Amino acid sequence: MADYAITFARSARRELEALETAIVNRMFPKIEALAKEPRPAGCRKIRGEKHLWRIRIGDYRVVYAVYDDKRIVDIIAVRHRSEAYE
């Protein structure tokens, strides 16, 4: 089974670049792991959305879409939990 490709929305890339290096270093291994397992233990489906999921990394949430037919995980948002669902 081939891995999923990971893509970033331009806004998610900007959000990631704005975070402190220590936080980014903690997030990247978990984001990269989505290529092997796009729905890891602890991930949650976002209600009312067909492809959207989220994972929790400390106080931050990574919102992403999984497209099984194209084998793509598209990172949509990387936000603090207080702002993740606005």
CATH number at residue 73: 3.30.2310.20
Q: Does residue 2 lie within any of the structural domains?
A: no
> Which residue in 77, 80, 82, 57 sits closest to 65, CA to CA?
77
The Cα–Cα gap between 68 and 20 comes to: 32
Question: pLDDT tens digits for 43-79?
Answer: 999 999 999 999 999 999 999 999 999 999 999 999 9
In sequence order, the 6+-apart residues with CB closer than 8 A to the CB of 81 are 56, 59, 60, 61
Instruction: Kindly report the pTM of this predicted structure.
Output: 0.91
Q: How many domains does the chain have?
A: 1
* Residue 10: band (very low, low, confident or very high) from pLDDT cuts 50, 70, 90: very high
Q: Does residue 12 lie within any of the structural domains?
A: yes
Q: Does residue 34 lie within any of the structural domains?
A: yes
Q: Does residue 83 lie within any of the structural domains?
A: no
Q: Does residue 84 lie within any of the structural domains?
A: no
Question: What is the span of the domain harbouring residue 57?
Answer: 7-77
Token pair listed for 27: 């997030």
